[in-house]
Structure formats: C-alpha cells, structure tokens
Amino acid sequence: MSSINITDEIQAPKGATVVKFSGKNPFVVVTMIPKLLRYVMKLSGKDIHERDIRWDTTSDPREYYGYWTGQRTEDTWTKSKVTVIAQGTQDIKTGEGSIRIELKGTVSTTYDYANFLQRSFWWFFNRTFYFKQRRRYIDYATDNILTIRSKIMDELGIMKDEFITKNEMRG
C-alpha cells in the first residue's frame, strides 16, 4: 500500500527556538525536560523518548548533552513531534556553567491509499478540508514549544525582556 506524507516544521522558517544561559546550576534544566514534555504536551510516559544522554565525569567543568522527543497523536492521520536538545557545561565545585537548549518540531500527516482514485480523494480532502485543521495543530505545537521555553527560562531565572533584547541584537 502506498502513502502520501506531508511534513511541516513547527518553527518554520526559523527552524528552532534557542535558549542560552550562563550562570548558577544550569544542569537543573536537564532533569526537568521529560516532565515538561509530559506536562505541556499532555503526553503519557510511552510518548516521551530519551534519545541520548551523555556526560563527561573526567573533566572539570563537566560537559553534558541530552536529546529528548515527545510525540503526540493528534488524530488518525496526524502526529506532532517536539524535540529538545540541551548541551552545556557545569563546574563541579562552584556549580557555575552554561547551557544551550534547542526546541524544534514537526507536524506529519500520512494518508494511505491503494489506487489512483483514493490518492486523488486524499489530495482533494487535504487541500479543501484538512488544511485548516493542520494549521491548528501547527499553532498548538508552536504554543507548546513557547510554553516549554517559558518554563525553562523561569527555572533558570532569565528575564523575558532580557532574553528578547539580547536575541534581537544578535540578529
């Protein structure tokens, strides 16, 4: 059986939302990301995947890396996926360090068909009726990413105005 696959980036055209922080205890974010994905996206435990976690205990400051995904089934045809990548360092004695968090995601729709008539129906259905619903899913996933960013910034003590001003100045 063949299928039509349509995938949109949630953060297009930018690609990702990035949060950078230098200060006291940045590693705390790594411990809260799975809970954030579960709470904000309203997922069960089976829908949150810890793809990769690494840390280097041989150096000072200690380096760490984490990669998580949360996938939500929106309806029969569409799934939303949010990816969080956190990478940074933290000094073992002082707790000072830095972290870079990248938030991105996709909304994917798949229609299965067996012949050219079904394929034509799915293209017509998608263009005529389902397009607005897909836009709603993309907007909802964007809201999820912005909520996760906001919670991370609150935990790290980053002021919202300060974050916007520094990122606008970088271009």
Residue with tokens 């996926």: 81
Q: Where do the structural domains in the chain lie, given as residue ranges?
A: 2-164
State residue 161's pLDDT score: 60
User: Taking a C-beta distance cutoff of 8 angstroms, is the pair 26, 88 a contact?
Assistant: yes
- Tell me if the pTM is above 0.75: yes
User: Could you give the maximum distance between any two Cα atoms of the chain, in Å?
Assistant: 67
What is the average per-residue pLDDT within 19-29?
A: 92
CA 130, 132, 136, 139 dihedral sign is positive
Query: Residue 9 pLDDT > 90, yes or no?
Result: yes
